[in-house]
Amino acid sequence: MNRQAQAAVLFLVGGALLHAGTTSLYLRYVKAGLQPLLLAAGAVLIVTAAATFWYELRRARAARKHPGGGEAHDEDDEHEDGHVHREPRISWLLVLPLFALILVAPPALGSYSAVRSGTALQQPLAYPALPSGDPVRLGLVDYAGRAAYGHGRSLGGRKVEITGFVALDRTGTPYLVRMALNCCAADAQPVKIGLTGKLPPVLQPDSWLDVTGTYTAKRTKDPVNGGIIPYLDVIQAKPVATPSDPYDESWNS
């Protein structure tokens, strides 16, 4: 892989980052707040690729004008005996992650990861006032914190509306789950709430539901790590499409 090829790979990687950062694709990898950094990284790679290509083009022109001159030979590219030193061919394997980024959009983490990981629910530092509306729209992590640690007092008996995906444990107990992020999908951890009340007759793992319900004091311990799993008394549940941002970032907001 010569420098021109390296510049081409840098340009493609930068272009892929810009493409992901200007669409919802980047939300499969990192939290929304990192979008500016992702775009900046893509721009830097493209500028670096352009500078590398320009340098190599100028160097090649100088070599043609002065054959055998000092600029025609680069100590980094040749051995002392005059033979060309080439980078190992295995370096082309660096292109494979690029094709994966461009051609394959990974699915968001779902029920398989959720039932094998303990709930990551943490006690909130405060309980902000609820927004207006009836039912009131809440993030799953927000409701779980109010229900588990605030014992529902901050909910004031109001109906809540929550969106998440379905996970079933080994006993068939249904949970509504969102994966919470610190920074990226690699550190995503599940936050779960149990479902009771008027449930759909058939619940498919990884299907997304928009659930309306009320607080209930029922709770259980996560069989994986013993964490608190609060419940929601379901009044209505309807299937919805997977949201553009499947992760919940309010965990550490």
Cα 73 from chain centroid? 46
pLDDT score recorded for residue 138: 94
CATH code of 198's domain: 2.40.50
Q: Of 74, 103, 132, which one is at a domain's C-terminal end?
A: 103
d(CA 194, CA 71): 70
99/123 same-domain check: no
pLDDT of res. 210? 97
**Which one of 73, 103, 133 terminates a domain?**
103
Residues 133 and 236 in one domain: yes
Phi and psi angles of residue 67, each rounded to the nearest 5 degrees, phi first: -60, 135
115 and 99 share one domain:
no
How many independent structural domains does the chain possess?
2
pLDDT at 37: 82
Residues 232 and 149 in one domain: yes
**pLDDT at site 32:** 72
Positions in the chain whose pLDDT score sits under 50:
70-75, 77-80, 253
Final residue in a domain of this structure, among 83, 103, 123: 103
220 and 243 fall within a common domain: yes
> Secondary structure of the chain: what % helix, strand, coil (to 5)?
40, 25, 35
For residues 144 and 222, membership in a common domain is answered with yes
> DSSP letter string over 77-117?
TB-TTS-B----GGGGGGHHHHHHHHH--PPPP-HHHHHHS
Identify the pLDDT of residue 121. Answer: 92
Question: pLDDT value at position 147?
Answer: 96
The answer to whether residues 91 and 123 belong to one domain is no
68: left (phi over 0), alpha (psi -120 to 50) or beta: left
What gap in Å lies between CA 218 and CA 216, rounded to an integer?
Answer: 5
Same domain, 142 and 186: yes
- In the prediction, which pLDDT does 12 show? 77
Distances (CA, A) of 145 to 119, 122, 148: 12, 7, 5
Pairing mode, if any, of strands 174-180 and 247-248?
A: parallel
- pLDDT reported for residue 72: 45
Query: What is the pLDDT, as a whole number, of residue 192?
Result: 96
Domain ranges, residue 122: 111-252
Asked if residue 123 and residue 92 are part of one domain, the reply reads no
